[in-house]
Amino acid sequence: MRRQYLLRKYNMNKKITAIIIAMILIAGIIGGFLLFKIFQKSDKNELIVKFQQFQQSYNQKQALGYDLTQVDLIVQQGKMAFNRGDYKEANKKLNQAIELLKKLKKPEEIVCGNGVCEESETAKNCPEDCGEEFIHRIYSTSDFGFVADSAIKGNYIYFVGKNGLAVLDIVNPKNPKVLETLVSSIPFNDIFTEGNYAYVTAGQRRLPDGMLKIFDISNPQKIYEIENNLVLPEGPTGIFVKNSIAYVGDFASGLMIVDVKDPEAPEIISTYSLNRQKGHVWWFEVKDNYVYLPYDAEGFHILDISNPYNLIEVGSFNKKSPDESDYYFNDVAVAGDYAFITLDYAGMIVLDVSDVNNLKEVAHVDPWPNCKWGTCPGHMIQVEIKDSFAYLTAGKDGLYVYNISNPIQPVLVTKFPESAKSGKGCAWGLFIKDNLVNVGYNICKAQNIKGAFEIFEIK
């Protein structure tokens, strides 16, 4: 009897022990699994941070024209490993890409303009007359003070600035003749000519003295202002007129659409605005049925203007700088399927806009990488496209010219920093027609500057 009792007790203890061992094993497995997941998540987060750091170096190399084909291949393999959760393999591929990126040789630079062109494989991207200057300064004056922008109509240049409006006869563009000047008590900011009229935005930014002024220029030697100016909420900036509809950038108040069929009674018919604390409208481009609209820290937007009374946003794009601060989108020029956009202190970004509903970044060139906002040698302001070249005003760093024959790989061709650095002001306004490039030098945060207006000729 006692022997049976002891046997039952022994079997019971054996079962309990087996259960305890099983529980310990299960706990160990669960604990190990959880620990594995924790370490796996840590590996994943570290990889993400590591890749973001790699991306910054990659973007800089891309902007400088490096051949990244092999790097792209390794990165793609790493992304595939990452997506299937193989973080060890992904890390291995990322390390390979980082090492390869460090070893890449700097591509040959294309140096056109200023009488220089290197003999190299890349020289095929230069103009045909690469041995000569393909752009050179033919006229410069500081007689009119700060000049914000200009327009060319026939043999006349109309330019505006802090002191009003002036007209130059450019039958001989190397020796223009002053035909008319109109002095203003408020600054003139931009000008657009259509038919017998010049449309001028005027007023100081952030102040309620903004207005749209219209001038009759049927006789360039005796222009006059039409009465009944349209008052706007703030100091307006850019302007474009098409089919008697004026598109006016009104800084923090956004984009104003104005009916100007009757020049004596312009009327606002619709508006488009975003966050006025972060977004300001400077300049834009109107092409076909779209407005391509840089909106400062609010990014880049495309609006359908088929019905000017009811603007519809169809596409947008924005991005942060490597340190997660905002980029500031200033101006845009559209050529073919690409939009070339100036980013204040961060160069120029190129977007593929072939599908307005799905905008894609294809290039970003920055002549001042890693500098902080407001501390760079210059800042990109306006942009114009002529043939296969992008011309950009760069504030204190003058005028920049990029070869954009390959839009996904813009190459710096030449720059003219001397006027800005000689005390004339910031290279600001920009207008190109035929072979003439107008540059206006506006107010800078510097002492002893006087402003200027210059004409460059493209051969």
Report d(CA 36, CA 30) in Å as an integer: 10
Local confidence band at 129 (pLDDT 50, 70, 90 cut-offs): very low
CB atoms within 10 A of CB 236: 26
188 pLDDT exceeds 90? yes
pLDDT in tens, 378-425: 889 999 999 999 999 999 899 999 999 999 999 988 888 877 667 788
Spatial strand order of the sheet with 389-393 comes to 383-386, 389-393, 399-403, 411-416
pLDDT value at residue 114: 40
Three-state DSSP class for residue 90: helix
Q: Using alpha carbons, select from 85, 92, 77, 76 the residue that is nearest to residue 41.
A: 85
CA dihedral 341, 347, 352, 355 (to 10 degrees): -40
Helices 69-83, 2-63: axis angle to 10 degrees equals 160
**In terms of residues, how long is the chain?**
459
Is the distance from CB of 285 to CB of 341 less than 8 angstroms? no
Average of per-residue pLDDT across 98-112: 64
Average of per-residue pLDDT across 207-230: 91
Report d(CA 407, CA 411) in Å as an integer: 9
Domains of the chain: 2-103 (no CATH), 121-458 (2.130.10.10)
User: Percent of the chain beyond pLDDT 70?
Assistant: 82
pLDDT in tens, 417-454: 877 667 788 899 999 999 999 999 987 766 567 788 99
CA atoms within 13 A on the CB side of 62: 21
Average of per-residue pLDDT across 237-258: 94
The residues near 200 (Cβ < 8 Å, ≥ 6 apart) are 160, 165, 188, 189, 190, 191, 212, 213, 214, 215, 239
Q: Where are the beta strands (DSSP E) in 47-195?
A: 135-141, 147-153, 156-161, 164-169, 177-183, 188-194
DSSP bridge partners of 300: 294, 317
Three-state DSSP class for residue 136: strand
pLDDT value at residue 321: 85
